[in-house]
Amino acid sequence: MLKYIIRLDDATPTMDWNKWNKIFQILDKYNIKPIIAVIPNNEDQKMIIDKYNKNFWNEVRLWQDKGYHIAMHGYNHKYITQKSGIIPINKLSEFAGVDINIQKEKIKKGWEIFLKHNIKPDIWIAPAHSFDYNTLKVLKETDIFIISDGIAFYPYNKYNFYWLPQQLWWYVEKQEGIWTICLHPNNMNDNKILELEQIIKNNIDKFQIDINKLYKTFENRNLNFKDKLYYRWFFIRRKLSYIKTQIIKFSKSIK
């Protein structure tokens, strides 16, 4: 099996609505149902791009009605620790290393905001991929049971959650697996958006995926040796890429 899931991060009332709407038009045109990472109470100044849309939550309900998958993207998207938590991708976090009672309060408030607007997310997406085991304990007090994160070839069950691996930030041709591509529409230019449409058009069968059916297929799957090997290679490759970047920067500085 080879399928790609589109994930769009950082939906807020002040997001770049022009870019987001262009992407929505493409996804609707090809009947693609993305995951939308919604920040329930944004306090991140970098996410204030457009004027405040007072109809934001009505829009989120419309996405939900269209079959888009709504995810809780943290609470306020403000990083308060330099911890990476379970997924060691970034050493900054809204949740990892934070006292469990503070995490509980933030997740409870975020959850209530969604419910207040008649929206019931079933997916968790941590800002910067960083959260810890206490985060999972607190999430058990909501109806969220899917984590959009992790490095593996296929979805799996771990810590009594269903994990949809998120391994890509742009399309890469693969031979097998379920690959979540995390996009940040606020940062995409028109050329990138056009390129996205062309990629989807050329690979339409790989992007049309029913996450609910996927869950039934993989809900009891455990990580295997191949997944664990890929996990190790993923982070080795990241380190090598970082070292290469630093060498290039150093070379330029001494010229």
Give the span between the Cα atoms of 219 and 242, in whole angstroms: 35
Q: pLDDT tens for residues 112-123?
A: 999 999 999 999
Structure tokens belonging to residue 14: 């002040």
pLDDT at 237: 84
> On the CB side of 154, how many CA atoms lie within 13 Å of its CA?
18
Alpha-carbon 214 to chain mean position: 17
Helix, strand or coil, per DSSP, at residue 142: coil
- Give the chain's length: 255
Q: pLDDT tens for residues 131-179?
A: 999 999 999 999 999 999 999 999 999 999 999 999 999 999 999 999 9
Taking residue 158's Cβ as centre, other Cβ atoms within 10 Å add up to 15
Give the span between the Cα atoms of 200 and 217, in whole angstroms: 24
Q: pLDDT tens for residues 63-113?
A: 999 999 999 999 999 999 999 999 989 899 999 999 999 999 999 999 999
Give the span between the Cα atoms of 56 and 183, in whole angstroms: 20
Give the span between the Cα atoms of 149 and 158, in whole angstroms: 12
Q: Are 72 and 12 in contact (CB under 8 A)?
A: no
Give the span between the Cα atoms of 108 and 142, in whole angstroms: 8
Which CATH code of 1.10.10.10, 3.90.550.10, 3.20.20.370, 3.40.50.300 fits the domain covering 2-222? Answer: 3.20.20.370
Residue with tokens 């609707």: 28
Give the span between the Cα atoms of 135 and 149, in whole angstroms: 14
pLDDT at 252: 66
DSSP strand pairing (166-168 vs 161-164):
unpaired
Q: Are 132 and 95 in contact (CB under 8 A)?
A: yes
Closest CA to 155 of 208, 209, 196, 199: 209
Give the pLDDT band (50/70/90) at residue 249: low
Give the pLDDT band (50/70/90) at residue 222: very high
Radius of gyration over alpha carbons of the chain, in Å? 18
